[in-house]
Structure 1
Amino acid sequence: MGPLPAPAVWTEPLPEATPPAGMALYQLPTATFETRAIFAFRGGSFRDKRHFAATAILVRHPKGDFLIDAGFGAGAAAHRQAQPRLARVPYQAISTAREQLDAAGYDVNTLRGVLLTHTHWDHVSGLDELPVPIWTNEGELRHAKERSDGKVFREVSAGHQIHQYDFDGPAYLGFSSSFDVYGDGSVVIVLAGGHTRGSVIIFVTLPDARRYAFIGDLVWQLDGIRQRVDRPLLTRTLADVDPGRVRAGLLRVIALADLMHVVPSHDRTAYDGIPRLPDRLMPVTPESA
């Protein structure tokens, strides 16, 4: 089976966004784990070892900061052990998002919350150290409540405030509706679905006009975008609740790939160009922005 049909490149104007001057992105790598390319994308080689990322993203904004996903937390070893045997891949811990924020002098209690791409354990483990609201949608909450792969989320989300948002905004870059986090177009969430019931893509636009698409596990490696291929049959059967919907979302993202920086959550190279946290994070306020 060859590549997926090439979608028409997006030619319409990009959505309007007015990100404030003080807005910024930082990557917080929490762990890496190794897998073979043959399991990561269709056409991958068994000899090709890939180092998957488990990385959170800090979005700084004068209206309040968010993390995109939480990475691996202090309880990651137990969270991994709670997975089916085939999913218990060895990993190399770096430091948790909480540890990195603390080291930079950042008060985690000032975070507005964590925006989840979806509720699988390797995206939510770090919530165990982050006493902040969890932002997600009704479909993903139902998925985490009803399915076995939501077990870790159910554990680490206990005691957290859940902020449930709706996709009540207009169509956005080929997706039928959207949610604008700040109301300025700088962070816009769309429903992708397919990997989990309510999995999302988070689009971010920075003041210098750079655009990012944080696509969660729509694909695991950039090869899926560049080669127009989805996961192999075995892994998409095991990992995706609706492989056809994943494929539809993948084609939409491929149509946008020349217009923005696409970041699959687990491709370590996709984070190149996003800075690490500085030694000291200064406050971002409406006045300084």
Structure 2
Amino acid sequence: MSPLAEPAAWTGSLPDAHPPAGMAIYHLPTGTYETRAALAVRGGSFRDKRRFAASAVLVHHPDGDLLIDAGFGAGVAAHIAMLPRPVRAPYQVTRTAGQQLDAVGYDRGRLRGVLLTHSHWDHASGLDDLPGTPVWMNADERRYAGHHRDGKVFRLVSQGHDIHEYAFDSRPYLGFASSFDVYGDGSVVVVHAGGHTTGSVIVFVTVPSGSRYAFVGDLTWQIDGVRRRAERPWLMSKLADSDPRQLRQDLLRVIALEGVLRIVPAHDLGCYDGIPLVTAAAGRWR
């Protein structure tokens, strides 16, 4: 099956970013589940088993911290039981994001919220172990999560959480038409990429070293989708994506950025390599 046409590489200047000293990001792996590569990306093999990551990423910032997604929660077994039987998969759990933060003496009062790339169960499950933490969503995703069949787990675990609804402005960012600058310093910028769910987002993060990351959620499930310019298999896209045409356009935009920044699909475990675990910052919070 032919890959997508290769887009022209990004040659424009990178947006201004002024991440403050002390800002950092940390990986909080909460578990994995298994799927076949053939179900994850076109051209994948049924013999190739992939361990899909279920993770959160902590953005530590002097103006307050954010989690990007929440990973698996304490009630993950019940959450998986709420899914249609054909999409349930073998899974392994470690510790929830909340448990990992508590283990290093983290002050949860620093946590401004959980910024979801989208509201599907494997990104929102961990909200059940982060009581009182606001959930950051845009209006499109809030509507999707409130009514779509795939928002069932979100609607359960978000009970008791305040919803912090943010909006995009008309400033383009790296080929995307609109954006939201979380801290106003260019260090964390959210763009609308509403192909997987109607309010799906990509979170661009720049750290003080100058390294840049694109946490792309489920724009593609594996980095193969970027490096081989391969979409999801047709049936999986039909089942999982709200707007496959929009998703394809946004995937091409991200493909054009490869080499300019580090692209991290939410479920590709290897793409988190090099991002320190939260345990590496234990002394910071004790």
- Length-normalised TM-score, structure 2: 0.97
Give distance in 2, aligned partners of 1:91 and 1:106: 27
The answer to whether the Cα contact below 8 Å between 2:104 and 2:285 also exists between their aligned partners in 1 is: no
State the alpha-carbon separation in 1 of the partners of residues 97 and 183 from structure 2.
23
Q: CA deviation at 1:19?
A: 0.2
Aligned counterparts of 1:223 and 1:96: Cα–Cα separation in 2: 27
Match of 1:170 in 2: 171
Which residue of structure 2 aligns with residue 48 of structure 1?
Answer: 48
CA distance in 2: counterparts of 1:271 and 1:46, whole angstroms:
24
* Structure 1 stretches of 4+ moved >4 Å: none
**Residue identity matched to 2:33:** F
The verdict on how the C-alpha distance between 1:64 and 1:231 changes in structure 2, with shifts beyond 3 A counting, is same
For 1:66, the aligned partner's letter is L
CA distance in 1, matches of 2:104, 2:64: 17
Answer whether contact 2:107 2:285 (CA < 8 A) is retained: no
CA contact (8 A) 2:27 2:277 kept: yes
Q: Deviations over 1:248-276 (max 9, x none)?
A: 11000000011011000000000011001
Aligned to 1:96: 96
Deviation at 1:87, TM superposition (A): 1.4
Partner of 2:14: 14
How far apart are 1:109 and its partner, in Å?
Answer: 3.1
Give the superposed CA RMSD: 1.1
Instruction: Give the distance between the partners of 2:61 and 2:78, measured in 1 at CA.
Output: 34
Q: CA deviation at 1:169?
A: 4.7
Match of 1:230 in 2: 231
**1:1-289 correspondence to structure 2 within 5 Å:** 1-130=1-130, 131-278=132-279, 280-283=282-285
Paired AA for residue 155 in structure 2: R
Q: Which amino acid aligns with 2:214?
A: A
The DSSP-based 3-state class of the residue aligned with 1:112 is: strand
Aligned to 1:287: none
Q: Does the Cα contact within 8 Å between 1:225 and 1:250 map onto a contact in 2?
A: yes
Counterpart code for 1:98: G
CA drift at 1:282 = 1.5
Q: Is the 8 A contact 2:170 2:177 kept in 1?
A: no
Structure 1 gaps, min length 5: 285-289
Structure 1 residue 281: deviation in Å? 4.5
Over the matched positions of the two proteins, sequence identity in percent amounts to: 63
1:184 maps to amino acid = D
* In structure 1, distance between residues paired with 2:21 and 2:60: 10
- Tell me, yes or no, if the aligned pair for 1:106 and 1:281 is still in contact at 8 Å: no
SS of 1:45's equivalent in the other structure is coil
- Unaligned 5+ residue runs, structure 2? none
- Between the aligned partners of 1:109 and 1:31, the Cα distance in structure 2 is 25
**Cα separation, 2, equivalents of 1:109 and 1:155:** 23
SS at match of 1:106: coil
User: Is contact 1:169-1:180 (8 Å) kept?
Assistant: no
TM-score by length of structure 1 reads 0.96
1:159 to partner: Cα distance: 1.1
**1:89: how far off?**
0.7
Distance 2:193 2:182 in 1: 17
Deviation at 1:86, TM superposition (A): 1.3
Q: Quick one: distance in 1 between partners of 2:116 and 2:262?
A: 19
**What do residues 186-214 of structure 1 show as CA deviations (whole Å, max 9, x unaligned)?**
00000001100100000000001000000
Distance in 2, matches of 1:137 and 1:169, equals 15
The total of aligned residue pairs comes to 284
Equivalent AA in structure 2 for residue 155 of structure 1: L
Read off the aligned partner of 2:261 and give its amino acid letter: M
Is contact 1:116-1:123 (8 Å) kept?
Answer: yes
Q: Distance in 2 between matches of 1:169 and 1:236?
A: 29
